[in-house]
Structure 1
Amino acid sequence: MTILLPSVRRSTVFLFGGVAAMNTAMVGASTAATLIVSADAGPAWSGLPNAFVITGTALGTLGAGAVMARRGSRPVLLAMYAAAVAGGLIAFGAAAGALLAPLLTGMVLLGLGNGVAQMSRYLAAELYPAHRKGFALSVIVWAGTVGAIAGPVLIAPGARIAGLLGVRELAGPALVSAAIAGLALAASAGLPRVPPPPARPRLSLPMVATALRRPEVLTPLVAMVGAQVSMVAVMTMTPLQLDHHGQGLDVIGLILSAHMIGMFALAPLSGRIADLWGGRVAIYLGIGTLAVAATTAVAAPTAHTSGLPAALFLLGYGWNLVFVGGSSLLSRDLPADERTQLQGGVDAVVWLSSAVASLAAGVLYGLGGFALVAVVGGALALAPIALVGRRR
């Protein structure tokens, strides 16, 4: 039985708090920004805020991985969460004044905070012995459950706050997001001060790109990208599918809630699987779950009380198994002198794949409807199987 030092427990709590706060902040800001752009620039441009958030998140993970390797984690967390606070305030001012460019700038800065929040699972894993790394990082992933529950709840109060301030209601959630990002900043300030890591060679972008092709990196990378693309494509088109078949926002919200529960609530179970049987086993189970989810979605594309909720829950949990399993491999198998940078590089690729999936899903839906999206999503989830089974 491993006895954890009080400093390890304290650091885990502060990392968890920062991630939970940042996830909560992102829900409100992204929702409000999407509605603002749709109202001010037209529905055709409503995907811009999400695209800019994804860009900021990819830059955040890549930059955080590079700087943490030289300066340590605490200064990077503080800097990027501070950028997120600034982004929320900029987004609030831009929303109040109906200014598109500053609004998108604010979303990029919020994305930087989201990027360093994503990297926090690796920081938690570094605190634990090898046989508990999967569970440690899964606890940080579980923090997304807090954002999934609290984020939507805070949107309406934020709108009321904006009304009291005399600005448009949709600006309010951005202001609340800035305040919640401030809680993430405060949580990071509670982390212990530690000396910077020993001097290590800095990996250039070409070196990172080359390293991403190594088997110990490529295996989790391909599995995580396949799961991310499959999940994002099906999830993105589900509200549209439901709307086209006459379902209201209440049904859409319930089904997406089932999906979010699948994505985050069972993360500790995924971590235990990765610790007991290895990250590859967790990845295989996740790929199988994603395939079952896609099959269910194809078989019951309009069953809003049975088939679709089950499909979206399985879609979320399949993604979680692959995400936690792949992350555990990256936490155990990489050399210490390049681990952090390569983890950031993998996360950047995974997040950029989300943008591609979002755009491609709309095209597929236009060509063949929801069934085509689900079939392609399932196929992409299954594609990495041969590579995952290959030994180094």
Structure 2
Amino acid sequence: MSVDVETTGRRRSMAALLGGVAATNTSMVGASTASTLIGAEELTELWSGVPNAAGVLGTAAGTLWLAALMSRRGTRSALSLGYLVAIVGAAVAGAAVASGQVLLLIFGMVLLGVGNGGAQLSRYCAADLYPPRRQGLAVGVIVWAGTVGAVFGPNLMDPSADVADRLGLPDLAGPFLVALLAAGVCVLASAAMPRSRTAARQGANDPTPAQVWRHPVVSVALVSMIAGQLAMVALMTMTPLHMSSNHHGLTAVGVVLSGHMIGMFALAPLSGYLSDRFGGRAAILMGIGLLVTSVVVASWPAAHGSGLTRLVVSLFLLGWGWNLTFVGGSALLTQALTPAARRAVQGRVDALVWAASAVASVVAGVVLATTSYVVLSVAAGVVSLIPVPMLRRRPPAEASATAPEHADAVR
């Protein structure tokens, strides 16, 4: 009977986590694209990445705050509160677009990002439901939920613009109406989760955050996830502007972003399986290979123009490469660290990853405005190679055998 109760609770939790991630990704695709286009209009192309960067910083802050809240009050309460903040953010951002207040838009994006922070932490919540040998796949399944956003997010831009127009709002307010509805769905999904037990207070034998940070696997996972995020964000956020300058319309932008988002999320279970089967390091190396290939396609000689097919292929490979580094890095953390050790660092790891990508959003706009899309692509490829020397060293399992005290606590 207890097994049936545990299985039912696990299924309810997974369904709620999947629903929250799917709805959040759907809203963030449109909101990020709209905020970048508005930034280009109001702040010039040079600073076009600022509103999107605000959303990414909100995600970083959200992961820190909500991870701590999960430890004290449980997953359901933390996720519900994060998604309620996202509802406020969507309303504020939509009002900002209607009134032409770019600073208010930036604030609304920060609040939307807080809700996205909860969605990002959902993969760790899913991993906690399964034994170590299935945690990579659990992470991959949750990341896969973003496929819903990949399919619907970009393709809702035109219909949502029509709805906004009928309501007497600017076209680019449409994606924020979608975000408002999606955040409401997330609140309902998280409320449907079974009440979870809050984490116990730290015991005498539990590792401190400083001790966990010294574990070799943490630095490998962190650097790999940051590098993949930087490369992906730089190209993803600036591709709509690049396409706009080459006279592609919103429909073409939606097609390219759909291909990119499918690459980011649809193959996540496969990435999780590869992480479980061959290890997180191998998955990360595969991802780096795809990121570099994507950059080669994106920076093809200018004589070939800015063909739609080339951009679709490049952004798809960019998405899958990011997925492998993200899932592989997350799998390293979940498989090498105990739940107590992971709670000590997971919020900080995600915060650093998203803070770095916020910087990438701004810097990418500056690079595109002052140089070219090809230069930006090459720079992204170079960044993606940064973790390679670390990945070539001996595996963390070997290093942990000689680690100081508390090595057993961090597995």
**CA separation of 1:132 and 1:70: change in aligned 2, threshold 3 A:** same
Write the mapping of 1:123-138 to structure 2, written as runs, cut at 5 A: 123-138=125-140
Question: Any gaps of 5 or more consecutive residues in structure 2?
Answer: 400-411
- 1:258/1:39 Cα in 2 relative to 1: closer, same or farther (>3 Å)? same
Task: Give unpaired runs (5+ residues) of structure 1.
Answer: none
> Secondary structure at 1:5's aligned position in 2?
helix
Deviations 1:283-334 (A, max 9, x none): 1111122122223333355362554432222111111111101001111112
The normalised TM-score by structure 1 is 0.89
Is the 2:158–2:251 Cα contact (8 Å) retained in structure 1? Answer: no
Whole-angstrom distance in 2 between the partners of 1:269 and 1:55: 29
Q: Aligned pairs, how many?
A: 387
Structure 1 residue 385 corresponds to structure 2 residue 388: yes
The structure 1 residue matched to 2:142, chosen from 137, 140, 143, is 140
CA distance change for structure 1 residues 290 and 137 in 2, over 3 Å: closer, same or farther?
same
Q: What does the per-residue CA deviation read over 1:89-145, in whole Å, with 9 as the maximum and x for residues that have no partner?
A: 222333333333333222211110001100101101110111111111111111111
Residue of structure 2 in register with 1:359 after alignment: 362
Q: Answer with 282-291 or 96-105: which moved more.
A: 96-105
Q: In 1, Cα distance between the equivalents of 2:301 and 2:341?
A: 46
Distance 1:103 1:195 in 2: 37
Separation of aligned partners in 2, 1:233 and 1:165: 34
Identity %: 48
Per-residue CA deviation, residues 66-111 of structure 1 (Å, 9 max, x unaligned), is 2212222111001111111121122233333333333322221111
**Structure 1 CA distance, aligned partners of 2:270 and 2:150?**
18
Q: Which amino acid aligns with 1:185?
A: V
Cα distance in 1, alignment partners of residues 300 and 159 from structure 2: 39
Question: Residues 307 and 213 (structure 1 numbering): CA distance in 2 closer, same or farther, change over 3 Å?
Answer: farther
Q: Which amino acid aligns with 2:316?
A: F
Distance 2:39 2:79 in 1: 30
Which residue in 1 is equivalent to 2:60? 58
CA offsets 1:135-180 (integer angstroms, 9 cap, x no match): 1111111111111222233334434444444444443432332121
The reply on whether 1:342 has 2:345 as its aligned counterpart is yes
For residues 170 and 240 of structure 1, the distance between their equivalents in structure 2, rounded to whole angstroms, comes to 15
- CA deviations on 1:226-277 (whole Å, 9 max, x unpaired) are 1111222233343444445554544443333222221111111101101111
Contact 2:263–2:320 (8 Å) recurs in 1: yes
The range that moved more, 293-302 or 16-25, is: 293-302
Q: Is the contact made by 1:259 and 1:314 (CA closer than 8 Å) also made in structure 2?
A: yes
SS of corresponding position for 1:198: coil
Letter in 2 for 1:149: V
With over 3 angstroms needed to count, the CA separation of the structure-2 counterparts of 1:89 and 1:271, relative to structure 1, is same
8 A contact 2:136–2:327 mirrored in 1: yes
Alignment of 1:15-30 (within 5 A): 15-30=17-32
Partner of 2:153, secondary structure, is helix
- TM-score normalized with structure 2 length: 0.85
